[in-house]
Structure 1
Amino acid sequence: MLALSPDLVVANKEENRELDVRRLREAGVPVWVTDIETVDGAFTAMRRLFGEALGWGVPSWLTDAERLWAEPVAPDGRRMAVAIWRDPWMVVGRDTFTGDVLRRLGLVHAFADHRDRYPHVDLADLDTAALDLVLLPDEPYVFTQEDGPEAFTRVPTALCSGRALTWYGPSLLTARQALAAALA
């Protein structure tokens, strides 16, 4: 990375190791570290990145995405979990961007109050009548029609785009509609 002589490296607290960030900074490379827990937090961080750090001004897609996600949605009421890994099973827990996306879609996030952000759970904790749906995204674990849904006998599952569920950026323009379609 140093050979590229970047003007700025954008890192994320969850996705990048602190050691790597420290080494880049020690080498004189400016590093912008994000720590995103909500959709609004993502919008704020992106506004600061584009406006303050890069001096580019706010892109129109960001303003459009903010408007889309500000629109109220009727409560869906379905209690659900998002599996993010298998063997061992892991789910989205508390204080996550994904959890806020679920809330903004009117869903009840079953693991929102768990002490961990990405807890390990037993399959029995997911395949239970206490849930209305388990969402199976295609990242970080690549759940597919053949790998994931077959593990569940008591609760319905839905496959979805991991990008729509977990990425903040231009994908937020289409994420709400894509997730609504997957949840239908």
Structure 2
Amino acid sequence: MIHTDQLGRRIEFPRPPKRIVSLVPSQTELLVSLGVSDDIVGVTKFCVHPKTIRSQKAIVGGTKKVNYEKIKKLNPDIILCNKEENTKEIVEYLEKEYPVHVSDIFSISEALEMIKQYGDIFDKKVEATTLISKIRLEKDSFDNFVSGVPQKRVAYFIWKDPWMVTGKNTFVDHLLKVNGFVNVFGDKDRYPEVSKEELSTIQDLDLIMLSSEPYPFSEKHIDELKNTTTAKIILVDGEYFSWYGSRLAEAFSYFRTLHEV
């Protein structure tokens, strides 16, 4: 069996992999949704969905730093990585010993392609096709909904000290566009730093979103920014904006609520 990951790398297996190490939280959740939970042997400390996964599987580290010896003891048939969430060094080290699939996702279409690839690799084509169809139906319905909603200029914060926002060439920025939002930092690359002074100079800013991850923003941070801008400031669930697996099936219902604030 020969497969290709999202970097165009060829991966070969004699049979569908049965011992899986996942180094990406959203992809761990996807595996469970596809029905291969029993085949997962290792996850990261950030793999929090489903809630029981970390108590049932070996924890091999985080997404940027892993314990290679723990992985070796698990004797995996495949390791699942992501170009942005995991480091190049991790991938290069692990692929010397194991088949490593790397996802590379900046859009919904690329997320659906990854789901399809997982369906092929893990012999879950029916489950993958069903999930892909559900996500497409949800998105089509949401596209119709959002087409009649007034456009808002937004800023999406992901970090504090320093304050950092989402710029272009990110999955979050793509989903902001799907929502019909105009990212006021959409001309900047990736995750630029921004000062309160710079934020105060932005004209016609309608909405500031403080994400629940990777930085755990809370009500106190809303208070901290109130004197900086006249824009409305809200807390948002970052998983719906950055988890690109099966969580997309629920994301569009959540996005509808953001247009009611």
TM-score higher than 0.5: yes
Corresponding residue for 1:168?
Answer: 244
From the superposition, tell whether residues 183 and 6 of structure 1 become closer, same or farther in structure 2 (CA, over 3 Å): farther
Alpha carbon RMSD of aligned pairs, Å? 1.7
Q: Who is 1:66 aligned against?
A: 136
2:124 counterpart (46, 56, 61): 56
Tell whether 2:77 aligns with 1:7.
yes
SS at structure 2 position matched to 1:147: helix
Gaps of 5+ in 1: none
Tell me the distance in 2 between the aligned counterparts of 1:111 and 1:59.
Answer: 35
> d(CA) in 2 for partners of 1:41 and 1:129?
34
Cα distance in 1, alignment partners of residues 169 and 153 from structure 2? 17
Q: Deviations over 1:81-127 (max 9, x none)?
A: 1000011011111111111111111111112221x211111123334
Structure 2: gaps (5+ residues): 1-70
Match of 1:126 among 199, 202, 227: 199
1:10 aligned partner, one-letter code: L
- d(CA) in 1 for partners of 2:234, 2:259: 7
* Counterpart contact for 2:222–2:234, Cα < 8 Å: no
Deviations 1:17-60 (Å, cap 9, x if unpaired)? 11111111112x11111111111111112212222x32321252
Look up the match of 2:171: 97
The residue aligned with 1:151 is 225
* Percent of aligned pairs sharing the same letter: 31
CA 1:178 to 1:32, structure 2 compared with 1: closer, same or farther past 3 Å? Answer: same
Between the two proteins, the alignment pairs up a number of residues equal to 181
1:20 aligns with 2:119: no
1:159 deviation in Å? 0.7
Tell whether the 8 Å contact from 2:167 to 2:186 is kept in structure 1 after alignment: yes
Q: Which amino acid aligns with 2:219?
A: Q
Contact persistence 1:126–1:134 (CA under 8 A): no
- Note the C-alpha offset of 1:2: 2.0
Q: Show the counterpart of 1:117.
A: 190
Rg larger in 1 or in 2?
A: 2
Stretches of 4+ moved more than 6 A in 1? none
